[in-house]
């Protein structure tokens, strides 16, 4: 009897101890109908069993919509603080609104990792453990270098939303990557009257190709624009001569890579963002690990003929 009571007390103490040590993590992310965030969620879901096995938990707090963006995100951070979590994974979309709340979370003893948006400099400034995500400029450079190393000399980066900082960074990266590889590249900013009109985008690209015969590479800032670009290249009679690349993936683009009418696509690999951010944070809380790699870049991952089959298998499982 006495022994049993002692054992129970001991196990209760043990449970309390693990309760204090285990990583209860809150992850804030985009809305349910956002395909991109469902891939991040797949990464989180795959990381969760390991965290739960060590006595922790993962709570995914999603925005319902993007209508009242900054206040809603801040509200979710406050919710996470009031839940007394041990760790917080947060995209720093709107620094001026989110920074005070993130600092409050840190003051409450919560360990923070920035994911998807924010960047390494912001993570250092706030004192976050790390930044897990991509860098648009680095992704652009990778695209430019890919073109250069495959023999392209003159590349056009088609920007259907000129003025958006992240897209300008993509094109600037392509230009710098090409220039470093010995080629030339330029941005083609399309007027807003053509945004969302596939024919107008395709015809603009066709016109540029007809006007400048030396263009042998086209890269678009989105997967949808690549659908238009493929038709534009075909209509200019340059299929096989002018290579096509794109930022981001969609099914039609993957089919083109498979059928070799598109050369490559640059992926920021959102699955890794969810998976790595949650595991890194839990491991830091549970075991005190710290990763010297800072930031942790999940992209650019290049999808081309060499890895298209594995990528398609990933798409089927909702991870790409």
Partner 1 sequence: MSQSFSIGGLLRRPEAGAFLGLVAVLIFFGIFGGVAFLKPAGMSSWLNVAANLGIIAIPVGLLMIAGELDISVGAMVPFGAMTTAIIAGHWDQSIWLAIVVTLSFALVIGLVNGLLVIRTAVPSLIVTLGTLFAVQGIVLGMTVLIAKSTSVALKTEGPAKAIFGDFIPVVFKGQLQSIVVWWLLAAAAYVFFVHFSRRGNWIFAMGGDKVSARNAGIPTERMTMLLFVLSATSAAFVGMCQAIQFNSAQVAGGQSFIFNSIISVVIGGVLLTGGFGSVVGIFFGTITFAVVNQGIYYTDFDRNWSALIIGVLLLIAVLLNNTFRKMALTHAPKKK
Smallest distance from partner 1 to CB 14, Å: 43
Cα separation of 174 and 155, whole Å? 8
Contact flag: residue 179 with partner 1 (CB under 8 A): no
Nearer to partner 1, 35 or 305 (CB): 35
Where residue 237 falls (left for φ over 0; alpha for ψ -120 to 50; beta otherwise) is left
Smallest distance from partner 1 to CB 189, Å: 5
**Selected binder of partner 1 within 57, 79, 166, 250 (CB under 8 A):** 250
Contact flag: residue 67 with partner 1 (CB under 8 A): no
Identify residues 70-129 at the interface with partner 1 (CB under 8 A): none
* Buried b / exposed e along 273-304 (16+ C-beta atoms within 10 A): bbbbbbbbbbbbbbeeeeeeeebbbbbbbbbb
Q: Which stretch binds partner 1 (CB under 8 A): 84-92, 140-148, 204-212, 262-270?
A: 204-212
Percentages of the chain per state (helix, strand, coil), in multiples of 5: 50, 15, 30
Contact flag: residue 207 with partner 1 (CB under 8 A): yes
Nearer to partner 1, 28 or 230 (CB): 230
Q: Which residue, among 80, 23, 82, 19, has the nearest Cα to 47 in the 3D structure?
A: 23
Contact flag: residue 188 with partner 1 (CB under 8 A): yes
* Buried b / exposed e along 158-178 (16+ C-beta atoms within 10 A): bbbebeeeebbbbbbbbbbbb
Cα separation of 287 and 123, whole Å? 21
Contact flag: residue 174 with partner 1 (CB under 8 A): no
**Selected binder of partner 1 within 144, 177, 224, 270 (CB under 8 A):** 224
Contact flag: residue 318 with partner 1 (CB under 8 A): yes
Angle subtended by helix axes 251-258 and 308-316, to nearest 10: 150
Contact flag: residue 68 with partner 1 (CB under 8 A): no
Smallest distance from partner 1 to CB 119, Å: 25
Give the sheet arrangement for strand 111-115, strand by strand: 57-62, 24-29, 87-90, 111-115, 131-133, 296-297
Contact flag: residue 213 with partner 1 (CB under 8 A): no
**Selected binder of partner 1 within 62, 189, 304, 312 (CB under 8 A):** 189
Give the chain's radius of gyration (CA, Å): 23
Structure tokens at 300: 């650019």
Nearer to partner 1, 62 or 150 (CB): 62
**Selected binder of partner 1 within 61, 63, 77, 202 (CB under 8 A):** 202
Size of the site for partner 1 (CB under 8 A): 41
**Selected binder of partner 1 within 57, 203, 258, 307 (CB under 8 A):** 203
Q: Which stretch binds partner 1 (CB under 8 A): 6-14, 139-147, 176-184, 195-203?
A: 195-203
Cα separation of 65 and 34, whole Å? 9
**Per-residue interface string for the shown chain with partner 1, residues 30-49, x marking contact by CB under 8 A:** --xxxx--x-----------
Q: What are phi and psi of 135, to 5 degrees?
A: -125, 115
Cα separation of 217 and 237, whole Å? 14
Smallest distance from partner 1 to CB 36, Å: 8
**Selected binder of partner 1 within 239, 251, 290, 306 (CB under 8 A):** 251
Contact flag: residue 8 with partner 1 (CB under 8 A): no
Cα separation of 72 and 215, whole Å? 45
Which residue ranges make up the site for partner 1 (CB under 8 A)? 32-35, 38, 162, 187-200, 202-204, 206-208, 210-211, 223-224, 227-228, 230-231, 235-236, 250-252, 255, 318
């Amino acid at each position: 009897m006495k022994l049993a009571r002692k054992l129970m007390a001991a196990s209760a103490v043990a449970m309390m101890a693990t309760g204090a040590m285990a990583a209860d993590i809150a992850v804030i992310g985009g809305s349910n109908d956002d395909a991109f965030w469902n891939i991040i969620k797949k990464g989180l879901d795959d990381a969760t069993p390991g965290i739960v096995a060590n006595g922790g938990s993962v709570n995914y707090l999603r925005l319902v919509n993007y209508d009242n963006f900054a206040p809603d995100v801040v509200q979710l951070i406050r919710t996470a603080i009031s839940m007394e979590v041990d760790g917080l994974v947060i995209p720093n979309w709107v620094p001026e609104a989110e920074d005070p709340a993130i600092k409050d979370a840190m003051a409450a003893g919560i360990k923070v990792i920035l994911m998807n948006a924010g960047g390494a400099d912001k993570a250092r400034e706030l004192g976050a453990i790390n930044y897990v995500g991509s860098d648009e400029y680095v992704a652009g450079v990778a695209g430019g270098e890919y073109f250069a190393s495959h023999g392209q000399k003159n590349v056009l980066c088609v920007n259907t939303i000129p003025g958006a900082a992240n897209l300008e960074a993509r094109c600037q990266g392509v230009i710098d990557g090409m220039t470093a590889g010995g080629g030339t590249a330029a941005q083609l900013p399309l007027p807003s009257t053509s945004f969302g009109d596939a024919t107008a985008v395709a015809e603009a690209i066709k016109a540029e190709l007809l006007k400048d015969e030396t263009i042998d590479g086209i890269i678009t800032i989105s997967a949808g624009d690549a659908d238009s670009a493929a038709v534009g290249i075909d209509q200019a009679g340059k299929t096989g001569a002018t290579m096509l690349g794109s930022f981001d993936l969609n099914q039609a683009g993957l089919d083109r890579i498979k059928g070799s009418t598109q050369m490559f696509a640059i992926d920021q690999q959102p699955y890794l963002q969810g998976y790595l951010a949650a595991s890194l944070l839990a491991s830091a809380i549970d075991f005190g690990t710290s990763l010297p790699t800072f930031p942790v870049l999940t992209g650019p991952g290049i999808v081309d003929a060499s890895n298209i089959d594995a990528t398609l298998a990933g798409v089927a499982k909702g991870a790409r």
